[in-house]
Structure 1
């Protein structure tokens, strides 16, 4: 099966947003709850090959290069209490204001968190309260929705992706740029364009350069619509 990721859905400048490619693979393998492990940066606007390896394992390749592994999984994650939408909106506004001034940020054009992306999600969470939770508001654009007004799985996964990195960048002082290594996610309720949501992220555990985190998407009634467990990686020394 061939997969091509449009340039719009980049994370780093020349490769796909980790959450977007994760959600795309989850869709293609027909898994409502899936885990994707990234092995190499997936190129954009290039025909990639998705292969079934048996025993529920699927792999994504660019020629001879293994890019990702995907499989259906069940997982548990305890979602901490989310802030109100107004609190998340204030945190997101602060994050976007700071991002405008951070000219050294290599992810200014990331589909998920890039401040220079008018056509992106622009989810830039900052801390709320004292429990280590970061939060932002997000009202999905109707340009991202299908004919029924629903936000597709890859875009929901993209919204879940970057907040895990922000959770750790606020926990670790002077943290260098880090990358998504693995994401397990599940959409519990439909996500609709034009409706207000709160996106939260929180650090769970550090093991050397491995950073474990959780994220969630919560609606205006405080109901969790999507959640994830993630592994992020600090650069090798």
Structure 2
């Protein structure tokens, strides 16, 4: 049994897409899988609700106790190169240009919400830096660290989430995460600062295809992801 605590929301009444995808991926990785994992969300993940796991050789599934499918995870593969490393001046410029300071459909989002305080949300504020790229610094708050001083898979996946959504520009059209393929190469460490980069690859109708990456300030790749975002109508989402 597992629950998604309300702290880890994206939209107000559902789980943060990256955190929930990372939660299911972590459960999949515990089944001896290595390498990239692809997680898919099948419904808005419910908060503070008991959920159940189901496993087989190919897939891990997160279910409501009524049997509704919340999300899945299985072996994944990347289709593109990760977004490029951007230096300190570029990520600071991205932070200064963050559109969410003015218009944000989900300002309580665990990853990128401006209404979340230090140690409560990740506060990764990714703004445009040209060529379909976004960037922001992320200093890892100690409240997110596990016993060894690093963050776990769900938090690392959450950090790899919203920079891609802002590359597609949440403020122009509200979106939610549908699919995320990610791999954490080196767990982020509390107190350290990382460079978060997002990149828009393509759009097909209501779907946006993006990539994200986390780097050390020296340019070492810490983790990467590819996402599919789905445009939504805020008036009907989750109903």
Q: Report the TM-score when normalising by structure 2.
A: 0.89
Equivalent residue for 2:206? 209
CA contact (8 A) 1:5 1:45 kept: yes
CA contact (8 A) 1:91 1:136 kept: yes
Measured in 2, the distance between the counterparts of 1:109 and 1:151 equals 21
Measured in 2, the distance between the counterparts of 1:59 and 1:159 equals 22
CA contact (8 A) 2:24 2:61 kept: no
Measured in 2, the distance between the counterparts of 1:90 and 1:168 equals 18
Equivalent residue for 2:126? 125
Measured in 2, the distance between the counterparts of 1:49 and 1:77 equals 33
Alignment of 1:27-42 (within 5 A): 27-30=26-29, 31-32=33-34, 33-42=36-45
Measured in 2, the distance between the counterparts of 1:26 and 1:222 equals 26
Alignment of 1:39-118 (within 5 A): 39-52=42-55, 54-62=56-64, 63-95=66-98, 98-102=99-103, 105-118=104-117
Q: Secondary structure at the match of 2:178?
A: strand
Q: Report the TM-score when normalising by structure 1.
A: 0.90
Spell out structure 1 runs of 4+ moving beyond 6 A.
none
> Residues 207 and 109 of structure 1: is their aligned pair in 2 closer, same or farther, counting only changes over 3 Å?
same
Task: Give 1:227 deviation, angstroms.
Answer: 0.3
Q: Secondary structure at the match of 1:3?
A: coil
Select 1:195's aligned residue among 182, 192, 197.
192
**Alignment gaps of 5+ in structure 1:** none
Task: Give 1:76 deviation, angstroms.
Answer: 4.4
Measured in 2, the distance between the counterparts of 1:152 and 1:74 equals 21
Measured in 2, the distance between the counterparts of 1:213 and 1:94 equals 19
Equivalent residue for 1:168? 168
Deviations, residues 186-218 of structure 1 (Å, cap 9, x unaligned): 011221111110101101111111111100001
Aligned residues: 227
Deviations, residues 161-185 of structure 1 (Å, cap 9, x unaligned): 1111100117xxx732011000000
Measured in 2, the distance between the counterparts of 1:224 and 1:50 equals 31
Equivalent residue for 1:150? 150
Task: Give 1:87 deviation, angstroms.
Answer: 2.1
CA contact (8 A) 1:77 1:228 kept: no
Measured in 1, the distance between the counterparts of 2:46 and 2:193 equals 32
How large is the Cα RMSD of the aligned pairs? 1.8
**Alignment gaps of 5+ in structure 2:** none
Select 1:223's aligned residue among 208, 216, 220.
220
